[in-house]
Amino acid sequence: MPIEDIQQYVDKLIEANELKIIKSEVNVKLEIAEILRRYMYSNGPAILFENVKDYDMPVLGNAFGSLQRLKIGLETDNFTEIGERIVNMTKMEIQSGFLNKIKKIPEISKMGDIFPKQEKNGPIHEVFIEEPNLNKIPVLKSWYKDAGKFITFGLVTTKHPETGVRNLGVYRIQIADNKHAIIHWQIHKRSAQHSMLWKSDKKIEVAIILGADPATIFASVAPVPEGLDKYVFAGIVRKKGVKITKCKTIDLDVPANSEIVLEGYVNPEDLREEGPFGDHTGYYTPKDLFPVFTLTGMMKKENPVYLTTVVGKPILEDAYIGKVIERSFLPLIKFLQPEVMDFAMPASGWFQGMAIVSINKTYPGQAKKVMMGLWGMGQLSLTKIIIVVDYDINIHKMDDVIWSITTRMDPSRDITIINNTPTDTLDPASPIVNMGSKLGVDATQKTVEENYNRPIPEQVVVDQSTKDLVDKKWNQY
Ligand SMILES: Cc1cc2nc3c(=O)[nH]c(=O)nc-3n(C[C@H](O)[C@H](O)[C@H](O)COP(=O)(O)O)c2cc1C
């Protein structure tokens, strides 16, 4: 049975010795965040703070801060398999012909299991607060110069105004007062796009989900293309449809097993200054204008747990979630670009900073074709640097990657710079916010057609007889 909510997940973490409970009193202002960072920087466990000063709700942090915890949460040892499931579904979708459909019926009927299940009621309906107050939730202030308290792990849900396709995105939210907050949805992200398409009375319904089952949380961080409903995606991840239910004051679906749901609306024309915020680049992101969320109602469980996370200079919790995204999206990248053998986004490059890809090169110029393809794929359009290497290079070993760059790349021939492209909103180096340049590094072995007019150098490898001799005598040495 898939994990249904964050409290079941906590039980699993306790069983696996992956959770520490802190009973001494802690403060949401700076103290909890520093404890969480110290544990993350030393590969520590998830932490449940039971005694939070001035609040009656426990706070859970670092919950997904290791691959082991993500294996427990997503109930798989093989993250790549998640992507394989999506590719298989896509292949089934594009198979044409009646015969093919008949052959696929058993698989298609199994797919029915992954669709969300609409429930009339759920644990989230245990308490409804008509006069809610954002300041009753133990929201953290993480860094000394942060503008205030930020919800960092809220799943923001919206609907596409024309298609009705549902989105879930983790966007940080700054508390402005009891009823208002500012949502940092960056312009390239799906819910921001939904808000830009909204033409009616300028009140976009928005719900913020605090705590849900691990697969729904993962789906909210995953860069899933518009058109694929995030609840369906969550169902693919957990191999079973998410139980969803309606909000009370707005027409949006939320997981029936959420801990807390904030209901309200965003007026995209009502912008306020958000930030500064100590971000996952390791720098403060300066203040900028973002839309205001107005709270109209709050649903919660009788005894909810508040899920949070802290960001800062890598490597913190988000790095592990990013690693799972990297592994699970590999099959989709390979499906669209079959020459790709492996793909990595090193966590120290805060993911959008750098991608390294290995390819099986069969024609000249192919590395550039792959770069352009990746820069055209959803959120990869925000990746600043793409390095392409041959498939004999282990892209997860920086020594191998550097060896490839320094032996197979000539700067004036193999470097591509593209100006005036979209960049990650958080990139501290972009000349202006959201715009900057791209760097492509072709570190594959060049051929004559690629203007390499020398014999391809031979790599040094040990000859077989010497290898055999040393193997045989190894224990004598
Ligand atoms: C802890 C954490 C905080 C994040 N904060 C933001 C944020 O403030 N704004 C934003 O646009 N993306 C943020 N992201 C990244 C988005 O969640 C991610 O790009 C996701 O794919 C967006 O989904 P979407 O396709 O629904 O827009 C954050 C991710 C994590 C893990």
Domain boundaries, the chain: 6-307, 337-450
Q: Position 3: which residue type?
A: I
Q: Which residues contact 150 (CB under 8 A, 6 or more apart)?
A: 139, 140, 141, 142, 172, 173, 174, 175, 277
DSSP for 89-105 reads HHHHHH--SHHHHHHHH
Which ligand 1 atom minimizes the distance to the CA of 224?
Answer: 25
311 lines ligand 1 (CB under 6 A): yes
232 lines ligand 1 (CB under 6 A): no
- Helix and strand tally (H, E) in the chain? 13, 23
Reading the block at residue 29, the tokens are 């202002």
What is the model's pLDDT at position 93?
66
CA of 338 to the centre of ligand 1 (A): 28
Tell me the pLDDT tens digit for each residue of 430-455: 999 999 999 999 999 999 999 999 99
What CA–CA distance (Å, rounded) separates 344 from 358? 9
Q: Give the burial class of 422: count Cβ atoms within 10 A of its Cβ; 0-12 exposed, 13-18 middle, 19 or more buried.
A: middle
Q: Prior bond to 217 cis, omega within 30?
A: no
* φ, ψ dihedrals at 259, nearest 5°: -85, -50
pTM for this entry: 0.96
171 lines ligand 1 (CB under 6 A): yes
- Top mutation candidate among 158, 171, 230 for ligand 1, by most atoms within 8 Å of CB: 171
Tell me the pLDDT tens digit for each residue of 111-124: 679 999 999 999 99
What is the model's pLDDT at position 267?
92
Q: Which residues contact 442 (CB under 8 A, 6 or more apart)?
A: 367, 368, 371, 388, 409, 414, 415, 416
| 337-450 fold | UbiD C-terminal domain-like (3.40.1670)
What CA–CA distance (Å, rounded) separates 305 from 126? 14
8 A C-beta contact, residue 135 and residue 175 = yes
160 lines ligand 1 (CB under 6 A): no
Reading the block at residue 455, the tokens are 């014999």
CA of 383 to the centre of ligand 1 (A): 14
What is the model's pLDDT at position 355?
98
Q: Which residues contact 188 (CB under 8 A, 6 or more apart)?
A: 379, 381, 382, 422, 425, 434
What is the model's pLDDT at position 102?
52
Q: Prior bond to 276 cis, omega within 30?
A: yes
For residue 168, list its beta bridge partners.
157
What CA–CA distance (Å, rounded) separates 357 from 362? 15
Q: Whose CA is nearest to atom 9 of ligand 1?
A: 171
- In a 13 Å sphere around the CA of 401, the CA atoms on its Cβ side amount to 18
150 lines ligand 1 (CB under 6 A): no
CA of 109 to the centre of ligand 1 (A): 33
Catalytic machinery residues: 279
* φ, ψ dihedrals at 371, nearest 5°: -55, -50
What CA–CA distance (Å, rounded) separates 223 from 404? 29
What CA–CA distance (Å, rounded) separates 36 from 304? 20
Low-confidence ranges of the chain (pLDDT < 70): 93-111, 200-201
- Top mutation candidate among 146, 155, 170, 317 for ligand 1, by most atoms within 8 Å of CB: 170
152 lines ligand 1 (CB under 6 A): yes
Q: Position 412: which residue type?
A: S
Class of domain 6-307: mainly beta
What CA–CA distance (Å, rounded) separates 384 from 438? 5
What CA–CA distance (Å, rounded) separates 440 from 395? 16
What is the model's pLDDT at position 96?
53
Count of residues for the chain? Answer: 477
* CA-based torsion, 140, 280, 314, 84: positive or negative: positive
What CA–CA distance (Å, rounded) separates 230 from 218? 10
Q: Whose CA is nearest to atom 22 of ligand 1?
A: 169
Number of Cβ within 10 Å of residue 176's Cβ equals 19
* φ, ψ dihedrals at 60, nearest 5°: -110, 130
**In the block, which residue shows the tokens 């669209």?**
336
Which ligand 1 atom minimizes the distance to the CA of 172?
Answer: 8
